[in-house]
Amino acid sequence: MTNKAQLVNPLTKYFNGEYDKQFQEYPGVQSEMTPVPDCGEESYKGCGRLKGRKALITGGDSGIGRAAAIAYAREGADVAINYLPDEEVDAREVKRYIEAAGGKAVLLPGDIGNEEFCRKLVSEAHEALGGLDILVLAAGMQQYSRDIEALASEQFVRTFEVNVFAMFWIIKAALPLLPAGASIITTSSMQAYQPGKLLLDYAATKSAIVGFTRALAKQIAVKGIRANVVAPGPVWTALQIVGGQPQDKIPEFGKQTPLMRAGQPAELAGVYVFLASDEASFVTAEVYGVTGGMHLA
């Protein structure tokens, strides 16, 4: 008798109901969300694809960065995560998951919107890990605005500092330290391809990330270093409940996708693992969409 494959319906694999309206002050704490995002804490199983690797992940305390951090540790990597000091409670949880997987965990709180801190972040991660060969830029700033006339210059600049300038500062500092075979993974969004009217500044930064990463990949290919982009669709993370979406949009968040639900961070972990691994040795300057069917166009 043969065993039947245990197929899982993607429509119902994760939460597909209405979310409760909920608001937290930026940057938010994932552990206080309802429901708490699934970052693969119980589900991700590793198989040694990143054994001995050294990764720095921004935004590694929660959401997509957290899912990548947990997956990397279970694949055999040591991991340093960056986050804002207000997110310490979430970061401490991630540290426990990394260490439970047998990896070294390094916590490096601080604001990547500051160039001097970005240089310090890379240096400290490299020293604490004893090297660096994976760089994941997952941290992001997202605040909705209904009208350009109401969009403050301070918010516009801050969104670019966190989403674009920090990417430039961190990668520039890290490149002299990265060996051949290293991988850089940036995080864009479906908003780069199908920008929504409420996210003018955010969508602009996500387009910039795509252009920057593709150009960078061609520049650093001669060094044997790859650079790729992950572009998520609507994913249930703290970004959404700290002003990333209007409260009246929260209950139906993600329902507009063909799969009729929002994604969970755990559903992106495998892509980040693949792009960091040697399995992707001929993959660079690419954009990988994880959008629930809202394809990149």
Strand partners, 85: none
Which regions of 157-278 does DSSP assign to beta strands (E)?
183-187, 226-232
Which one, of 297, 271, 244, 282, lies nearest residue 19 by Cα? 244
Q: CB pairs under 8 A, 24+ apart, for 218-225? A: 218/285, 220/175, 220/184, 221/284, 223/175, 223/178, 223/180, 224/179, 224/180, 224/181, 224/182, 225/175, 225/178, 225/180, 225/181, 225/182, 225/183, 225/184
The rounded distance, in Å, linking the Cα atoms of 287 and 291 is: 12
For tokens 């919107």, the residue is 113
Secondary structure (DSSP) of 51-75: TT-EEEEETTTSHHHHHHHHHHHHT
What number of other Cβ atoms are within 10 A of residue 176's Cβ? Answer: 8
Strand partners, 86: none
Cβ–Cβ under 8 Å, residues 276 and 55: yes
Q: Which residues are catalytic?
A: 202
Strand partners, 289: 231
DSSP-assigned letter for residue 205: H
